[in-house]
Structure 1
Amino acid sequence: MTEKDTYERVKAIVAKQLGAEDDAITAEANFVEDLRADSLDIVELIMALEEEFDVEIPDEKAEAMKTVQSAVDYIIANTKN
């Protein structure tokens, strides 16, 4: 899976979980500041990413995951191609 494919899948999950407009979801978009996610939204988003990509995201990594790109980078680094 390419980075672009991963990005598009993450973007779709973010749109569904956060109800964000497609044009607001950029690689640099901050989940809380730009996409208005609250703590429950973040938990649900992390769970959805774990399920979609069959990857475990530890709490400390989830807390550090602030942007769409940081989620993409973590998934690429921690999944088998």
Structure 2
Amino acid sequence: MGMNEQEILAGLADIVNEETGLDTDDVQLDKSFTEDLDIDSLSMMTIVVNAEEKFGVKIPDDEVKNLKTVRDAVTFISSAQG
């Protein structure tokens, strides 16, 4: 059984916090990684790799550019856990 979106969000917030120092409370579903959270592509790759490990999913490189918001990432991870 996969995690629910709240658990995925919390896990993702931890990863973002470790990589960027952003407060976990700032990592909310409607936030854009680049615009709101100011995460560059290099940090994003690290976040993706860590998320793959943490959640046991594969996030293909060509999918990463589609993950504009935190919600996009949570939804993707949720469905990838299937």
Q: TM-score range by the shorter chain?
A: 0.7 to 0.9
Match of 2:16 among 8, 11, 14: 14
| 2:65 aligned counterpart, secondary structure | helix
Unmatched runs of 5 consecutive residues or more in structure 1:
none
Q: Percent identity?
A: 32
Q: Displacement, 1:10?
A: 1.2
The alpha-carbon distance between structure 1 residues 5 and 23, as it changes in their structure 2 partners (threshold 3 A), is closer
Distance 1:58 1:67, change over 3 A: same
Residue 68 of structure 1 is matched in structure 2 by: 70
TM-score, normalised with respect to structure 1: 0.88
- The count of residues paired between Structure 1 and Structure 2 equals 80
**1:31-78 per-position Cα deviation (integer Å, ceiling 9, x unaligned):** 111111111111111111111111110111111011111111000000
Report the residue type matching 1:77 in the other structure. Answer: S
Partner residue of 2:31 out of 12, 15, 29: 29
Q: Read off the aligned partner of 2:60 and give its amino acid letter.
A: P
Q: SS of the counterpart of 2:58? A: coil
The answer to whether the aligner puts 1:51 opposite 2:53 as a matched pair is yes
Unpaired segments of 5 or more residues in structure 2?
Answer: none
Q: Secondary structure at the residue paired with 2:36? A: coil
RMSD: 1.2
* Mapped contact 2:16–2:24 kept (Cα < 8 A): no
Which residue matches 2:40?
38
After TM superposition, the score normalised by the length of structure 2 is: 0.87
